Amino acid sequence: MVTNKDLIQQFFVEERRTHRRGMITTWVLVGLADVWVIGGFLGGLEIWTILQGLVAVSAPVFVQLWLSLRRRNTLQNRLANLLDSIVFGWDELHGLDLSNEEADHLHLAFSTTVGRVSSNETFLRTRGSDEKGPAFDREGVAVDAGADRVDPALHEQDYDGLEGALRVSEQLVEEANQQYAEEAQRQWDLAERRDMDNIEAGVERLGDLVASGWFERNAKDGAVEELMNSKRESGSQ
């Protein structure tokens, strides 16, 4: 499966291959032009004939140089268009086999397309001018008390896909959060099972202990103050 990083790498590999092919073609044509001039001079050809052959060989050289220059000038735009078509984050820049110049091109293209990922690719909301947005330019708009209530659930599909797929760094954070949540839940369950009040009341959960009225039956004046003082004393030791 081709990843987004592979697409970036292939882009620069193809650029190198095309540049190398163009340089080889240019030098071959230059070599042919030299051979033609030297051979024509040694063979006794007229200067006009030599110049005609030189022009015929030089024309493809200039065309090749123009194509190479044009491709170099459009590299930044083509790279930006590629980044626009994929989801590629800063954390994925490492590990690419790029030269310093290629890395500079990639950083520049990425920095100029930071806002390429819209909140919703198929349904954009421009809140500054959208009629669904805040009415900052309207004053004294009367609210009809008799208007029918609109159920928000009817428009939930408008928000589908707003977040999009998680990037690599976001996926790592999400996995860490999930692990922390599972560990916290495990420790909470263990604390409930070991709680002496739960054990004495014959319940397993703190919520069941509250529902049983245990706290009302065992209310103690100054319990909160006593607890705070005990925590303060333990913290000072």
Segment 121-148, tens digit of pLDDT: 444 445 455 555 555 556 655 667 777 7
pTM of the model: 0.40
Where does the pLDDT of residue 35 fall: very low under 50, low under 70, confident under 90, or very high at 90 and above?
confident
Phi and psi based region of residue 211 (left: phi greater than 0; alpha: psi -120 to 50; beta: remaining): alpha
Average pLDDT of the residues in 40-52:
81
Place of tokens 């909160």: 224
Instruction: Choose among 3, 1, 60: nearest CA to 30.
Output: 60
- Cα R_g (the chain), whole angstroms: 36
Please write the tens of the pLDDT for every residue from 155-200: 788 777 777 777 777 788 888 899 999 999 999 999 998 988 888 8
Reduce the DSSP state of residue 143 to 3 states and report it. Answer: coil
Average pLDDT of the residues in 68-84:
81
Output the pLDDT for position 180: 92
Instruction: Choose among 64, 54, 53: nearest CA to 19.
Output: 64
User: Which amino acid does the sequence have at 175?
Assistant: E
Please give, one letter per residue, the 3-state secondary structure of 192-214: HHHCHHHHHHCCCCHHHHHHCCH
**Most confidently modeled range among 115-129, 133-147, 202-216, 221-235:** 202-216
